Structure 1
């Protein structure tokens, strides 16, 4: 079963998360099928805090991949950010 979840990157005490499609049984930072975007919780200035390919996200959810609760929250935030900028 596929899931859309976060894979941690970045340095110690400086988290950076990739939003990936992976098998449910694979390790958190292990193999993944596709990278959909990123989340940078410590973004400041002009840096983007969230970037998600909504087209690919929709594709994978229609294909049966289940997003984690955190990814669902990040997608809602990204949709609100794009609506307010439009």
Structure 2
């Protein structure tokens, strides 16, 4: 199953996340199918590719709880 989830990158103490479409059995920082945006929790900034996110959800991808919250806050869901 494909999930929309967060992929961690950045330095220790200065973490940033990419919102990606991945297989649910892949590791957190493993190979992503597609990158759909990013989220910076320190500044609460996010940049989303809304068209691709909606396309992935229509194809059956399930967002995790955290990603669902970020998408709801950005009025995508």
1:64 paired residue number: 60
> What is the DSSP-based 3-state SS (H/G/I as helix, E as strand, rest coil) of the residue aligned with 1:10?
strand
Q: Which runs of 4+ in 1 moved over 3 A?
A: none
Identify which of 73, 77, 82 aligns with 2:73: 77
Q: Report the CA distance between 1:79 and its aligned residue.
A: 2.0
Larger radius of gyration: 1
Matched residues in 1 for 2:11 and 2:74: separation?
Answer: 24
**Structure whose residues are more often helix by fraction:** 1
**Unmatched tracts of structure 2, length 5 or more:** none
Q: Is 1:9–1:17's contact at 8 Å kept on the other side of the alignment?
A: yes
Q: Report the CA distance between 1:74 and its aligned residue.
A: 0.3
**Structure whose residues are more often strand by fraction:** 2
TM-score (normalised: structure 1):
0.83
Aligned residues: 76
- Which deviations, in whole Å up to 9, do the C-alpha atoms of 1:14-39 show, x marking residues without a partner? 11000000000000000110000000
Q: Is 1:2–1:66's contact at 8 Å kept on the other side of the alignment?
A: yes
TM-score (normalised: structure 2):
0.93
Alignment root-mean-square deviation, CA: 1.4
Is it true that 1:37 corresponds to 2:37 in the alignment? yes
**Unmatched tracts of structure 1, length 5 or more:** 81-86
> What is the DSSP-based 3-state SS (H/G/I as helix, E as strand, rest coil) of the residue aligned with 1:79?
coil
